[in-house]
Chain A
Amino acid sequence: MRSWLKSWKARLLLVLAVVGPGFITANVDNDAGGIFTYSQAGAQFGYTLLWTMIPITIALIVVQEMCARLGAVTGKGLSDLIREEFGFRITFFVMVTLVITNYGNIVAEFAGIASSLQLFGWSKYIVVPVCALLVWGLVVRGTYASIEKIFLTASAFYVCYIIAGVLAHPDWKAAFFATVTRPEASGIRNYGYLFTVVGLIGTTIAPWMQFYLQASVVEKGITAKQYRASRWDVILGCVFTDVVAWFIIVACAATLYATRHYNIGSAADAAQALRPLAGEYAYLLFAFGLFNASFFAASVLPISTAYAVCEGLGFESGLDKKFHEAPVFYWLYTVLIVVGAGALLIPRLPLIYVSVLSQVVNGVVLPFVLIFMLLLTNDRELMGEHTNSRTFNVIAWTTVVVVILMTLAMFFDRRQSNESPGASSMTRTPAALTS
């Protein structure tokens, strides 16, 4: 017994030592946009979209592994590499796209903060500016690094979804079959369906994560030699993200979809998914989890965007520099937060819709970031013996092609459908798909 305990302990320590960039990235990945997109998928389509989880997980592992490997082998960030290999003009357009996409995500994080605190009846006109100021200060004053562990620990909140999912007595058999069966072909003609699928892909394999993960690997000083251990960190993180995602969808399907609450209009709706676990207090639990996730990601996204852009375009960057030494870096960081949080002050902004939309934009942009990563990871001069294996290339290129096709189909469906685009498309009952 004793020796068993000891070896178990040793194994746990081994895992903990490896837990690093991959696991943190995975946790930041389950942000406000993620929670709302998964919730919406479960509420609107029940178990129907669970089939996406396995392919998304495989693609996520492949993509994240490529990033971590790029970082470990070259010791450079993704934007540095794009600049060095593809020149100034291409880098410029990639960075403009990245700023726009990430801006959407930042708005989604502040939307998460606003809607989580709305559950307590606190006005967004007060909490959003206060939180924006808090985020700005925490990062610039360097306190963020010391409180990262608190965020990370609080992420254990996601376990609530697993418990709630179990307590809701879902139809396990149906959920399981929905996860492993192939999707129904009719989905391709439904705008709302494709919108949600692209959103699911975009929120799970978000473009900003690739920049962030690679930067973290470089920052941690992981080299090609130590890389083997780090690979497990990445895989573990990816699996964790998607297990949580699966349970969020199942919990929402078993509660919201089952009671015909197909549309999540506010955080209060989404909180209902936790009812089987927390009953009347579900909203408290949800508010806590959503706030933590949103604030965590809001602290990470603007700064990592500022780093990526400044490194790619050759501006001075770094929190160890003074404001006048790295003006572009600090201005970009500040403007992203101010304008990101500022968008929330627009009256009657549909918070949930904006969050999900930002994830769809992630999905649309993803293939282009992936193409650059694929070209880089297959460059023998750059990667030496660490170039992609054929399997990796097949999976990654398939992801690129599938996501592009889905995006095209989505825009095509939207032009075909007569209904007004936007928020209302999410409210449609997908009866035809679930029969």
Chain B
Amino acid sequence: MSLVALSELLGATVRDASGTVRGRVREVAIAPGEHPTRIAFLLVHTPDGERVLPAASLKSAGPTVRTIDDSARWDRFSPSDGVLLLKRDLLDQQIIDVHGRKVVRVNDVELDSTPVNSHLDLSVIAVDVGARGAIRRLTKGVVPSFTMRALLERIPPRVIPWQYVDLLETDPSRRVKLKIVYEGLSKLHPADIADIVEDLPPAEREAVFETIDEEVAAEALEELDPKVQVSIVESLDSDRAADIVEEMDPDAAADLLEKLPEDRSGQILKEMEPEERIEVSQLLEFGKNTAAGRMTTEFIAVADNLTVTDAIDALKKFEGTREALATIYIYDVAYRITGAVPLVKIALSAPDARLWALREEAVTCYPDTPDDEVAGLFDKYNLVTLAVIDQDQRLAGIITADDVITMLRHAK
């Protein structure tokens, strides 16, 4: 096997079986529908128009491309959405480096050529984002390629293996045909996804949020700058936006919807599942810089006469954020809050222990408690969660420490 750079291949003269020059390489194509990395064909510019040279007819590939058959057998090229053209779609474009967790620009593409039986197997193995590819392209045709090769060997390569490359494609139907699903990106931490998305132009951001799993999209959206959040949600259609907003933390969802134009947030609410819609619209009614605006209505509360086993059952069924798991709230027959049990105590106690016996006094505030007092309570009692109660002493929601940190940072 040996390495060939895309930039060496582009413009290379093509000689057929008889050794006659037939044209020059104009494009190198992959058909992701057939094979994810193997080159399907080269596009050759001949005096007779653009011709498709199937990869199976290749004998050697480099500054000169040799083929095993005659050019008369090469089909005419008709553009198709389903093929990835390496020069047009990849070279000089931005891609997501999933491993390095950032957006980078492609300087060159590295192909591997391995002789198989009578022909050559060409496949993409990595993209070059470093100085090697840059200098190769800068000097191409100016400095003889064999001297250049020796020089370039000395430059430490900066390449991204093909499996860590996520392509950016803004056309939805083409994305489907090219099988671009942002698999690698989706596996990253939501905060990293958010960082990457912030570096992308608007159309590419939209593409990512249209494609990735709703749950991942929701978490990543929460991590984004509010301005960017709004522009992304505005660019999505209401149906898709609603799917994502549903998966968000209700308080984050309410914050986001509040910033959207009213008709737009109305549309999104309408598309949401009834349960989530009610929660979010309740939050929307409260003031922004108060406990109610900061709280989430997804929390764990169980009757105080139950046992640790019951609490663990409730934990297992809970679908809210992990931060809300830190405390289990307990209530009496009239649903009035009677105490709080930290998760640690649940873990350390016998399964049949009564929650009532494990309780600590719950620190509480009211829905209209302003932000700075909320922060004060967290500071004073070293809280992880704070209970928000109504006039009847019933739990309305909880505020988690991570929201307070965000709030304090934004207040600065």
Contact = CB atoms under 8 A, between A and B. Distances in A.
A223 B202 contact: yes
B92 A221 contact: no
Contacts, number: 43
Contacts of B105: 83, 313-314
B408 interface: no
Given A75-B202, A221-B202, A84 B93 contact: yes
B327 interface: no
Contact of A75 (B91, B134, B201): B201
A87 B91 contact: yes
A91 to B, nearest CB: 8
Nearest to B104: A314
A189 interface: no
A88 B231 contact: no
B129 interface: yes
B138 interface: yes
Contacts of B107: 88, 314
Contacts of A87: 91-92, 137
B227 interface: yes
B383 interface: no
Nearest to B142: A89
Interface in A73-93: 74-76, 80, 83-84, 87-89, 91-92
A218 interface: yes
Interface string B129-159: 1000010011010000000000000000000
Contacts of B137: 87-89
Given A83-B105, A87-B91, A88-B92, A313 B134 contact: yes
Interface in A198-242: 218, 221, 223
Interface in B94-131: 94, 102, 104-107, 129
A218 B231 contact: no
Contacts of B134: 88, 92, 313-314
Contact of B231 (A76, A83, A223): A223
B154 to A, nearest CB: 20
Contacts of B203: 74-75
Given A89-B137, A221-B227, A221-B231, A76 B201 contact: yes
Nearest to B7: A88
Which size class do A's interface residues fall under?
A: 10 to 19
Interface string B76-93: 000000000000000111
B182 to A, nearest CB: 19
Contacts of A74: 201, 203
A75 B202 CA distance: 6
A267 B226 CA distance: 47
A223 B203 CA distance: 10
Contacts of A76: 201
Contact of B138 (A75, A80, A83, A89): A89
Contact of A92 (B91, B94, B138, B202): B138
A84 B138 CA distance: 15
Interface in B198-237: 201-204, 227-228, 231
Contacts of B106: 314
Contacts of B91: 87
Q: Is the interface of A mostly helix, strand, loop or mixed?
A: helix
Q: Which of B92, B107, B137, B203 has the largest number of chain A CB atoms within 10 A? A: B92
A223 B206 CA distance: 13
A80 B94 CA distance: 9
A314 B129 contact: yes
B92 A84 contact: yes
B104 A88 contact: no
Contacts of A75: 201-204
A227 B183 CA distance: 34
B131 to A, nearest CB: 10
A392 to B, nearest CB: 24
Contact of A83 (B92, B129, B204): B92
A314 B158 CA distance: 12
A74 B138 CA distance: 27
A87 B227 CA distance: 32
Nearest to A224: B202
Contacts of A83: 92, 105
A218 B201 contact: yes
Nearest to A310: B105
A83 B92 CA distance: 6
Nearest to B199: A318
Interface string B327-344: 000000000000000000
A9 to B, nearest CB: 24
A92 B140 CA distance: 13
A218 B137 CA distance: 29
A83 B106 CA distance: 10
B261 to A, nearest CB: 12
A352 to B, nearest CB: 38
Nearest to B231: A221
Contacts of B228: 221
A340 B22 CA distance: 53
Q: Which of B107, B134, B202, B228 has the largest number of chain A CB atoms within 10 A? A: B202
Nearest to B206: A75
Contacts of B202: 75, 221, 223
A316 B103 CA distance: 9
Contacts of B93: 84
A247 B94 CA distance: 46
Nearest to A83: B92
Q: Which of B94, B104, B204, B228 has the largest number of chain A CB atoms within 10 A? A: B94
Contacts of A89: 137-138, 140
Contacts of A314: 104-107, 129, 134
Contacts of A88: 92, 107, 134, 137-138
B17 to A, nearest CB: 32
A244 to B, nearest CB: 32
Nearest to A316: B102
A88 B93 CA distance: 10
B85 to A, nearest CB: 13
A76 to B, nearest CB: 5
Contacts of A316: 102
A383 B94 CA distance: 18
A400 B210 CA distance: 42
Contacts of B138: 88-89, 92
Nearest to A86: B92
Q: Which of A75, A80, A92, A314 has the largest number of chain B CB atoms within 10 A? A: A314
List 9 tightest A-B contacts by C-beta distance, closest first: A314-B105, A75-B201, A75-B202, A88-B137, A76-B201, A83-B92, A84-B92, A221-B231, A89-B138
6 contacts: A75-B201, A83-B92, A88-B137, A89-B137, A221-B227, A221-B231
Given A75-B201, A223-B231, A313-B105, 18 more contacts: A74-B201, A74-B203, A80-B94, A83-B105, A84-B92, A88-B92, A88-B107, A88-B137, A89-B137, A89-B138, A91-B92, A221-B228, A223-B202, A314-B104, A314-B106, A314-B129, A314-B134, A316-B102
